[in-house]
Amino acid sequence: MIGTFARTCETFMPRGISLGNQEYRLGYRSDIEGLRAVAILLVVAAHAKVTWLAGGFVGVDVFFVLSGYLITGILWREISETGGIRFANFYARRFRRLLPALLTMLACTCLFAAAALPPGDQGSQATGAATAALWLSNIYFAFAHINYFDPNATSNLFLHTWSLGVEEQFYLIWPALMVLTLGWWRSEGAPAGRLITVMSVIAIVSLLACLSFTQTAPRMAFYLMPWRAWQFAIGSLVWLRFGSIRGGGTSDLMPLGSALAYRGLGWLGLALILISALWFDANTSYPGWHALLPTIGAAAVILAGIHSAGNSGISRVLSWSPLQRIGRLSYSWYLWHWPVLLLGGAIFVTDSALYRAALVILSLLIAAWSYRWVESPIRQQARWTIRPAVTVLSALALMAFVNVACITWFNAAGAWQGSPTQQRYAVARSDIPAIYKMGCDEWYYSDKVKPCVFGPDNAAHTAVLIGDSIGGQWFPAVFAVFNRPDWRLVVLTKSACPMVDELMFYPRIGRNYTECTIWRRQALRDIAKMRPDIVVMGSVQTSDFTQTQWVEGTARVLKTISDASGHIYLLRGTPHLPFDGPNCLSSRSWWPWLHPWKSTCDAPAYSARDNDVYRWLQQASSGFVNVEVVDLNSKVCPGNTCHAESHGRIIFRDSQHLTATFVESLSAHLANILHLEAPSQADPPR
- The total of other beta-carbon atoms located within 10 Å of residue 12's CB is 16
Q: Is the pLDDT reported for residue 289 higher than 90?
A: yes
Tell me how far apart the alpha carbons of residues 686 and 680 are, in angstroms, rounded to a whole number. 17
The predicted-structure confidence for 138-179, as pLDDT tens digits, reads as follows 999 999 876 777 766 668 999 999 999 999 999 999 999 988
Q: Is the pLDDT reported for residue 312 higher than 90?
A: no
Predicted pLDDT of residue 190 = 66
Picking from 135-144, 345-354, 398-407, which range would have the lowest pLDDT averaged per residue? 345-354
In total, the chain counts a number of residues equal to: 686
pLDDT (average), residues 592-613: 81
- In our burial notation (b when 16+ CB lie closer than 10 A, e otherwise), range 227-247 reads bbbbbbbbbbbbbbbbbbebe
Q: Is the pLDDT reported for residue 94 higher than 60?
A: yes
The predicted-structure confidence for 671-684, as pLDDT tens digits, reads as follows 999 988 877 665 66
Q: Is the pLDDT reported for residue 246 higher than 60?
A: no
Predicted pLDDT of residue 683 = 63
* Residues 6 or more apart whose Cβ sits within 8 Å of residue 669: 632, 635
Which pLDDT band, with edges at 50, 70 and 90, does 597 fall under?
low
**Which DSSP category does 371 fall into?**
I
4: left (phi over 0), alpha (psi -120 to 50) or beta: alpha
Predicted pLDDT of residue 439 = 87
Q: Is the pLDDT reported for residue 64 higher than 60?
A: yes
Predicted pLDDT of residue 405 = 97
pLDDT (average), residues 437-465: 93
The predicted-structure confidence for 502-559, as pLDDT tens digits, reads as follows 999 998 888 999 999 999 999 999 999 999 999 999 999 988 899 999 999 999 999 9
Which pLDDT band, with edges at 50, 70 and 90, does 347 fall under?
confident
DSSP string, 229-265: HHHHHHHHHHHHHHGGGGSSS-GGGS----HHHHHHH
Q: Is the pLDDT reported for residue 490 higher than 60?
A: yes
Q: Is the distance from CB of 598 to CB of 584 less than 8 angstroms?
A: yes
Predicted pLDDT of residue 10 = 35
Which pLDDT band, with edges at 50, 70 and 90, does 16 fall under?
very low
Higher pLDDT among residues 371 and 188, named by residue: 371
Distances (CA, A) of 311 to 28, 247, 320: 14, 17, 12
Which pLDDT band, with edges at 50, 70 and 90, does 351 fall under?
confident
pLDDT (average), residues 656-663: 96
The predicted-structure confidence for 24-56, as pLDDT tens digits, reads as follows 566 778 999 999 999 999 999 999 999 999 999
CA-CA-CA-CA torsion for 653, 655, 658, 661, nearest 10 degrees?
A: 20
Q: Is the pLDDT reported for residue 214 higher than 60?
A: yes
Q: Is the pLDDT reported for residue 182 higher than 60?
A: yes
Predicted pLDDT of residue 529 = 96
Q: Is the pLDDT reported for residue 13 higher than 50?
A: no
Single pTM value for the model? 0.90
Tell me how far apart the alpha carbons of residues 538 and 543 are, in angstroms, rounded to a whole number. 13
Predicted pLDDT of residue 467 = 96
The angle formed by the CA atoms of residues 65, 68 and 70, to the nearest 5 degrees, is: 105
Q: Which of 641, 638, 617, 616 minimizes the C-alpha distance to 629?
A: 617
Q: Is the pLDDT reported for residue 248 higher than 60?
A: no
**Which DSSP category does 532 fall into?**
-
Mean pLDDT of the chain: 89
Predicted pLDDT of residue 244 = 54
pLDDT (average), residues 460-468: 97
Q: Is the pLDDT reported for residue 68 higher than 70?
A: yes
The predicted-structure confidence for 425-442, as pLDDT tens digits, reads as follows 989 999 999 999 998 898
Residue type, 251: S
Picking from 3-17, 97-111, 478-492, which range would have the lowest pLDDT averaged per residue? 3-17
